[in-house]
Structure 1
Amino acid sequence: MNFSEPAALLRSLQPGVRVVVRYRIDGGFTDALGTLGAVGDTECTVATRRGDVVIAYPLVTAAKTVPPPPPRRTPRRS
Structure 2
Amino acid sequence: MVNLPAPGRRVVVRYLLPTGQATDALGELLSADAETVVVDGTRGVERIRVTDIVAAKEVPPAPAPRIRRPFAD
* Residues 13-44 of structure 1 deviation map (CA, whole Å, 9 limit, x = unaligned): 21101100000102211000000001222101
Aligned twin of 2:18: 26
Number of equivalences: 70
Structure 1 spans left out of the alignment, 5+ residues: 1-6
Q: Which moved more, 1:65-74 or 1:34-43?
A: 34-43
Q: Per residue, is there more helix in 1 or in 2?
A: 1
**Identity, % of aligned pairs?**
40
Aligned partner of 2:32 in structure 1 is 39
Q: 1:17 — aligned with what?
A: 9
Report what 2:60 is aligned to.
Answer: 67
State the 4+ residue runs in structure 1 displaced beyond 6 angstroms.
none
When Rg is computed on C-alpha atoms for both structures, the one with the higher figure is: 2
Structural RMSD (CA): 1.1
Q: What's the TM-score, normalizing by structure 2?
A: 0.87
Q: TM-score, normalised by structure 1?
A: 0.82
